[in-house]
Amino acid sequence: MTNVLEFMCGAGGATLGFLQAGANVVGIDIDPACERHYPKPARFICHDVFTIESILDWPQLLKWTDLFWAGPECEGNSRATKIRGDQSEHEDQIARVRAMFQRFGKPYVIENVPEAATKFHRMRADITLNGYTVGLMLDRPRVFEISGFTAVQPRYITRDEVPLDKRQKCSVFGRLVSSTKKGGHERYEHDKYWRPIQMGIDHIPVNAGSSPDPETGRTYNLLALAVPPAMAEYLIKQFIKWRAEHP
């Protein structure tokens, strides 16, 4: 059995993919609002990941772990943040997480939006996935930095290869129905049905919100922040296969 320790696990989008692949999972997140939605039988630890070594059972947890996974805050890299405000206001957590994982000395995966690799060069894009690549009708690209094992890059399916009626863009705002490219203003429409269906998630309610940010007071939509489980399932299966070939 493969054991995954997931940092910044949120409400468990990636966690569901690990469970579907048959892995054991422990998730760590600082937000207590995530625990009520976190998928069982995975264990949830409410704690700041950057001080995780202070918990009492850390030595046992580190020994237990086969793979570390993290989805650091993406707001400093995301195009959505640029629409709402200033990307520079948000801390780059990727380097801090990488340094911790390298110190722990175990294989790891770091996930983020494509701009983290292509524009800001804060991480490698060893694997690039979107919904179409893993069997979802969803345009939600993500990049993954991988260390300690190898994974196969599947053929990346672009939205141009998908029929027009299947091109579903997953945005923190909802469905894009008008844009400046079409001569109008950016306008988004939230459809409460499409997001969980397209993402392959059934355990996070559409309107589930995070706890208020201690600095800004803002809350976030937990489903909008989630990684589609199929992406995590693909990569954990790649890790399981690699381990079997490298005993």
Q: pLDDT (tens digit, 9 = 90+) per residue, 129-138?
A: 999 999 988 8
Name the token pair of 79: 């195009």
For the chain, 247 residues long, give each residue's pLDDT as a single digit of tens: 999 999 999 999 999 999 999 999 999 999 999 999 999 999 999 999 999 999 989 999 999 999 999 999 865 544 444 444 444 555 789 999 999 999 999 999 999 999 999 998 999 999 999 999 999 888 889 999 999 999 999 999 988 898 877 766 654 444 444 455 555 554 444 444 446 667 889 899 888 899 998 877 888 889 888 999 999 999 999 999 999 999 8
Q: What are phi and psi of 37, to 5 degrees?
A: -105, -10
**β-pairing verdict for 67-70 and 43-46:** unpaired
Write the pLDDT tens digit of every residue in 184-205.
554 444 444 446 667 889 899 8
pLDDT attached to residue 78? 45
4 with 61: CB under 8 angstroms?
no
Q: Amino acid identity of 77?
A: N
- Rounded CA-CA distance 130/60 in Å is 35
Structural domain boundaries in the chain: 3-245
- Rounded CA-CA distance 135/152 in Å is 16
Q: Tell me the three-class secondary structure of 27-72, residue by residue.
A: EEECCHHHHHHCCCCCEEEECCHHHHHHCCCHHHHHHHCCEEEECC
34 with 72: CB under 8 angstroms?
no
Cβ atoms < 10 Å from Cβ of 43: 13
Topology of domain 3-245 in CATH is Rossmann fold (3.40.50)
- b/e map of 216-230 (b: 16 or more CB within 10 Å)? eeeebbbbbbbbbbb
R_g (Cα) of the chain, nearest Å: 18
36 with 65: CB under 8 angstroms?
no
Half-sphere CA count of 32, side-chain side, radius 13 A: 1
87 with 81: CB under 8 angstroms?
yes
- Rounded CA-CA distance 132/141 in Å is 9
- pTM for the whole structure: 0.85
- Rounded CA-CA distance 212/220 in Å is 8
Element (H, E) at 199: helix 194-199
